[in-house]
Amino acid sequence: MADTAVHAATDHGHDDHGTHHTTTGLSNNKLAMWLFLGSECLLFGGLISTYMLYRGRHSENLGPDQLWDIPFTSASSFVLLMSSLTMVLAVTAAKRRDDRNTSLWLTVTAMLGALFVAGQIYEFTVFYREGLGFTTSLFSSSFYTLTGFHGVHVTVGVIMLLSVVGILMKRRTGEDKSELVEMVGLYWHFVDIVWILIFTLVYLIPA
């Protein structure tokens, strides 16, 4: 009896039917991740609000209208949006216990994320050369803080994705890693939805 119970449950605390051995019957890890993402809304809400308040506080020649490169930022947005697609493909592959495709899509997602971060670093470099430092104006401080925080989140996401790929490569036993991939996927999609807000509110709506 005891042996049967032990074999029925995997190392993630749920049995072969996906039922979790918790008081709610749900995965505590997943519940915690959603709670964390809910709290992140408050962090980014504060940063976006601060930017909205101070976006007009700049010198005449160093404002959004002079600096923004919409085609370039649009390409970056497209890259991040497509990374959400590759992430969801990784999650579905993980649910099928298809380790090969899971690793493939996770790696593609990490590469797209790295490309986005590279684009952001390039954009920051261009702005800095134009004379927009972190303390140049209230506009620049709030802009760099908001987009910088987002960039750090993407970077952390890339590290998480590559870590999961490493775990999958290390343990090629066909065991269920779908919850782990799903956790990273939730975080990654959140980073994408924050950029959806930033792209519209910061870049597309004129100051």
Partner 1 sequence: MATDTQPATHSDAAHDDAHEEHWSDLSYIKLAIALALVTALEIAMSYTIGFWGPLFIPVLLLLMVVKFMAVVLFFMHLKFDNRLFSIMFYMGLILAIVVYFIALLTFRFFDA
- For partner 1, the closer CB: 49 or 125: 49
74 sits near partner 1 (criterion: CB under 8 A) = yes
Span of 59-67, 77-85, 142-150, 161-169 interacting with partner 1 by CB under 8 A: 77-85
3-state secondary structure of 24: coil
**Buried (b) or exposed (e) across 60-77, using 16+ Cβ within 10 A?**
eebbbeebbeeeebeebb
Instruction: Report how far apart the first and last C-alpha atoms of the chain are (Å, whole number).
Output: 68
Owner of token pair 């490169």 = 69
- For partner 1, the closer CB: 144 or 195: 195
Within 8 A by CB and 6+ apart from 35, the residues are none
152 sits near partner 1 (criterion: CB under 8 A) = no
Contact 123, 72 (CB under 8 A): yes
27 sits near partner 1 (criterion: CB under 8 A) = yes
- For partner 1, the closer CB: 2 or 42: 42
* Site pattern 87..126 for partner 1 (x: CB under 8 A): xxx--x--x-------------------------------
Span of 109-117, 122-130, 146-154, 195-203 interacting with partner 1 by CB under 8 A: 195-203
- For partner 1, the closer CB: 28 or 61: 28
- For partner 1, the closer CB: 25 or 174: 25
Binding residues for partner 1, per CB under 8 A? 13, 17-28, 30-31, 34-35, 37-42, 44-46, 48-49, 52-53, 70, 74, 77-78, 81-82, 84-85, 87-89, 92, 95, 185-186, 189-190, 192-193, 196-197, 199-201, 203-206
